[in-house]
Amino acid sequence: MNAALARISVGVVVERTKGASQWSDYLWRPVKVLPGVPETPLWSKLDGDDERALFYLGAAEIELYRTETTNYRDNLATGAPLLWVVLEKSDGEQPYQLRLVTADPAEGEAMTLVGENIVDSVPMPESIEQTIIAFIKEHHVEREFVKRKRDRANPEALARRSGEEVP
């Protein structure tokens, strides 16, 4: 795998809301990514009460790869670029831990297929958007799409050879 050419440090805020069903006490979801990493301790309650509360979950690094610039560019082209945050079930004191923050929509979508992860998108802060724009300008290489051509079937290869028995 290619090495990340740039990293953007971020902090993640999650929201806990009271569950409306008998199967879950609380629902969790990422709601904001902060540019930079605050000096706030992990799992600090930022605001709220027992019904709805915001917590600082922790820090992550958005890794940028030269091979994914097309995906970043497509994300920015939507006019409302997003970051995907992946929360992983924790065996520790807290219910979730931060697994990943990415600007690559394909990577975010791929993480939805993994077990009990919570994957949600949040708005991309403008400072992160500007960093990604600069990264694309520096590293993007336009690749021509080449449609593969299928080999023509060889009818002789499909025929029975003499002496073969029919099953």
HSE toward the beta carbon, residue 24, CA cutoff 13 A: 9
Q: How confident is the model at residue 51 (pLDDT cuts 50, 70, 90)?
A: confident
C-alpha dihedral sign at 33, 34, 35, 41: negative
Q: What is the pTM of this model?
A: 0.81
Weakest mean pLDDT among 39-43, 92-96, 127-131 = 92-96
What integer is the mean pLDDT of 71-81? 95
d(Cα 15, Cα 22) in Å, to the nearest integer?
19
CA 143 from chain center: how many Å?
23
pLDDT over threshold 90, residue 160: no
Within 8 A by CB and 6+ apart from 39, the residues are none
In this prediction, residue 21 has a pLDDT band, given cuts at 50, 70 and 90, of: confident
Contact yes or no for 60/13 (Cβ under 8 A): no
d(CA 98, CA 76): 24
Take residue 71 and report the two structure tokens written for it. 């995906």
Mean pLDDT of 34-58: 93
What pLDDT score does 165 carry? 62
CA distances from 28 to 17, 23, 57 (A): 7, 14, 11
CA dihedral 37, 43, 48, 50 (to 10 degrees): 160
Alpha-carbon distance of 101 to 86, in angstroms, equals: 6
Q: pLDDT band at 164, cuts 50/70/90?
A: low
As a whole number, mean pLDDT of residues 75-81 equals 95
pLDDT band at 148 (very low <50, low <70, confident <90, very high): confident
User: What is the chain's Cα-based Rg?
Assistant: 23
